[in-house]
Structures are given as structure tokens and as C-alpha cells.
Amino acid sequence: MDILKIKGISKSYGDHLALKDIHLDIPKNSIFGLLGPNGAGKTTLIRIITNIIMPDAGSISFNGLPLEPDHVRAMGYLPEERGLYKKMKVSEQLVYLARLKGMSKSEAVKKIKEWFEKLDITSWYNKNVEDLSKGMQQKVQFIATVMHQPELIILDEPFSGFDPVNANLIKDEILKMKEDGASIIFSTHRMESVEELCDDICLINNSSIVLNGGKKEIRNQFRSNTFIIEHKGHLNFSLNGYNCLSSDNLEDEIVRSEIKIPDDQNLNDLLINLTDKVQIVSATEKIPSINDIFISEVTKSDNG
């Protein structure tokens, strides 16, 4: 079942078309990567999902029901634009935000203390927000987003401001929340995080969807029958229509060659043709990264 079904969503700001006829299903209990360059329309879509703004056309269902303002209490949204009340104590601010999500004061205090212990920040409880570093404030906002255990968690650049240690700590918590049943929309420009965390991805550019589906399936779509061969000895690349895309000398007389072979051949065919000509050290298929696909499809969309 899908937690969100988005049908025909469009939105304009004056003469600017922010979203054009967006159709999208977001599965339950998954991490869904919402990708795109700046200005593509991602934030507008998130704001429509969270009822901050209304679409000009289209509809959204949440757990099979038409999206209503009350559904926002079942969501947690960490926006890219951070905002905390600097003069308030951390604990007071988190209790206030938890009450807005329907938690009682006692429930909020209990949950806040649990998260502070989990993230090893118990000494921050009575500090003013203005006394915290950017990374510390980011941790506080992350807690504010998830402490009411929302069904749907929307994270917009959640690792901004974190050092690698704390980024990994938050990644672990995101994965644990998925294991516990949460559905997560994850918007970021850090493609390595998409590779590591996401089950499905959607790429938006120029207000429209240009790519949508399972991460593994999408990567498979972009396979090009290209292989990385490390070998000793000289290769004749005129054989059997092979195309050597690059060749670099490594240490110990090893050469690293990137070879594209005809679509009707496979790695076994390539190795059979090479084994009597060179000494093969290793052979791996070159499968494009999400970053490669992102750049390729955004460029194609911009030029199309």
C-alpha cells in the first residue's frame, strides 16, 4: 500500500510554473528519494503535501483518504530552511512543538529525554538555542521532527551542518525509523546518501518528473554493457567491435581499460576474447551511480 498517492498536481506562482501534472505514488515503510536541482519544484511539492500551500490542480490521498489538514499531525517535516526560537531553552521549545503535534506535556518530556539520551546530548536540555552550534541546532530540529513518531517523515537536506560522525548517527536513526514502520521522503543533493538510504527515487526537473521508480531498477536501466578490465599487456581494441573508452596505466605494469562491448555479448564473451592476449587481473561491470544518472537526465531534460 502507498502512504501517499499524488495525482495530477500542478502549481504556479504568477507566470512561473512550479509543478506540472505530477503523478506519484510513495510506498509505505520505505525511504523515498525526492531529487532534483535547485528550483525544480521539490519544495513546492513538499509544501503541498504538508498543507502549507494548496495546489492549483490535482489531488493527494494519505493512507487511502483525501488529504486533510488534520493529517499533518501524522507527519514530521524538517525543512531546508531551519528555524528555532533562539531565546528559548531547548527543552521548552521541543515541548512547545510537541504540543502542536498533539502530545501531552508529560508525553513530550518523556520522549524528549529519550531522544537526548539516544543522541548523547543530555547536557543541552536547559541551554538556550542561541548557545548551540549549527550542528547542535540541527539535532534539536531533527528531534522536533520525529519525536511524535509520525507515520510520514519528510526530511529536506537533513545532513546539512553535520560532521561525518553526526551524519552517520542520524542516518542510523533514519534507518531504524524505517524498520519501525515509518515512511520517509528524503530530499537531498547528496547522491551518496541516496545510494546508501533510498529504496525508490523520483527526479524532478523543470517542474516535471523525468525519472521515477525503484533505485535498483533505475540503475539497471542505465547499464551500457561497459566493463572495467585491469590487465597486463597491450590490448587490440579493433576486435569484435569493442570500443575502448579509456585506458590508464596503474602501478606494477597494470593497465585499467574501460571497454564497451556489443549488446549481443556479455562479460564471458569479452574474457574469452582477451585471455589469450593479455593477463587479466580483474574484471567488473561499470554500473552508473545515481549521481551519474542525475547529471545525465537533468542535462537531457534541460536540453530537451
Give Cβ neighbours of residue 91 (< 8 Å, ≥ 6 apart). Answer: 109, 112, 125, 126
Q: Which CATH architecture has domain 2-220?
A: 3-Layer(aba) Sandwich (3.40)
Rounded-to-integer distance, Cα 298 and Cα 37, Å: 8
pLDDT at 239: 62
Instruction: Check residue 238 and give its pLDDT.
Output: 61
Check whether domain 224-286 has CATH 3.90.1070, yes or no: no
Domain(s) labelled CATH 3.40.50.300 in the chain stretch across 2-220
* Residue-level pLDDT at 152: 97
Contacts 24+ apart (CB under 8 A), 294-299: 294/35, 294/191, 294/203, 296/222, 297/203, 297/205, 297/210, 297/211, 298/36, 298/37, 298/203, 298/205, 298/210
Going by C-alpha positions, the residue among 167, 206, 200 that lies closest to residue 185 is: 200
Are 24 and 10 spatial neighbours (Cβ–Cβ below 8 Å)?
A: no
What pLDDT does 273 receive?
86
As a 3-state breakdown, the chain gives helix, strand, coil percent values, each rounded to 5, of: 35, 30, 30
Instruction: With beta carbons less than 8 A apart as the criterion, state whether 192 and 168 touch.
Output: no
Specify whether the CB–CB gap between 275 and 231 falls below 8 A.
Answer: no
Tell me the three cell numbers of residue 296: 545525465
Helix (H) or strand (E) holding 46: helix 42-49
Q: How far apart are CA 110 and CA 95, in angstroms?
A: 10
* Residue 134 φ/ψ, nearest 5 degrees: -60, -45
For residues 76 and 97, what is the distance between their CA atoms, to the nearest angstrom? 11
Per-residue pLDDT tens, the chain, 304 aa: give them.
899 999 999 999 999 999 999 999 999 999 999 999 988 899 999 999 999 999 999 999 999 999 999 999 999 999 987 778 888 899 899 999 999 888 999 999 999 999 999 888 888 888 888 888 888 888 999 999 999 999 999 999 898 878 889 899 999 999 999 999 999 999 988 898 999 999 999 999 999 999 999 999 999 999 999 999 999 988 766 666 788 888 899 888 899 999 999 988 999 999 988 888 889 999 999 999 999 999 989 988 887 6
Q: Which of 124, 152, 117 is nearest to 138 (CA)?
A: 124
What's the pTM? 0.87
How far lies 8's CA from each of 57, 70, 202, 233, in Å? 7, 22, 15, 57
CATH 3.30.70 range(s) for the chain read 224-286
The DSSP H or E segment spanning 145 is: helix 134-146
Residue 264 exposed, middle or buried by CB count within 10 Å (0-12, 13-18, 19+): exposed
Q: What pLDDT does residue 162 have?
A: 86
Residue whose C-alpha is closest to residue 215's, from 293, 286, 159:
293
Residue 248, strand partner residues? 256
Give the pLDDT score at 42. Answer: 93
